Amino acid sequence: MAIDAVKAYFSQFGMEKNIREFSVSSATVDLAAEALGCPGCRIAKSLAFRLNEGPILVVAAGDAKVDNAKYKARFGEKAKMLSPEDTLSQVGHAVGGVCPFAVKAGVRVYLDESLKRFSTVFPACGSSNSAIELTIPELERYSAAAGWVDVCKNWSGEEKQENAGA
C-alpha cells in the first residue's frame, strides 16, 4: 500500500508517528477537513498533471482552483489532469490519497503560492484516510519540491492567515 511507502519515507526523518490515520474517509478536501476538524483551505491537495516531459504534482490549498491561463503561462502547456488509473501508475498513489511523498521517480512536485498564507497544512499520506500536519518549510523539505508556482485562483485572501479554526 502507498501509505506504507509514505510511512517508510517519513521514518528516515523520525516523522512516521506524526501520520494520522482516520476511521473515516479523508479522500476529498471536505472529508479531510471534517476528519481533522480544520477549515478546508488548510488541506494541501495534490493534483496530478501530465506534461510532455512527464507527470507533475501541484500541491495547493484546499480552496484553490487551477487557473488554466496561469498554468499554461508557467508550464507552457494546457493543464491536463491525469486519469485515476494514470495517477496510480505514474505517481504511485491512488486518487483520494495522492501526496507529494514517496512518489515514483521522475515525478516533479510544485507547491502553489496559495499555501504560503498558513503556518501549517495537512497533505494526505498515500491513503484515502490519512494526513500529516506540516509547516510550510517542512512541506518544502519533505516533498522535495522543484519550486513554488502561482497557478491557482479563487483562494480566500492574499494575506497570511494563521491557522484559523484549528
> Tens place of pLDDT for every residue, the chain, 166 residues?
689 999 999 999 999 999 999 999 999 999 999 999 999 999 999 999 999 999 999 999 999 999 999 999 999 999 999 999 999 999 999 999 999 999 999 999 999 999 999 999 999 999 999 999 999 999 999 999 999 999 999 986 544 444 444 4
Cell of 5: 511507502
Whole-angstrom Cα distance, residue 22 to residue 25? 7
The residue behind cell 490549498 is 61
pTM: 0.92
The residue behind cell 479531510 is 32
57 contacts 46 by C-beta, under 8 angstroms: yes
Q: Return the CATH fold of 2-153.
A: YbaK protein (3.90.960)
Strand pairing of 120-123 and 43-51? parallel
Whole-angstrom Cα distance, residue 16 to residue 129? 15
For residue 137, the number of C-alpha atoms closer than 13 Å in the C-beta half-sphere is 0
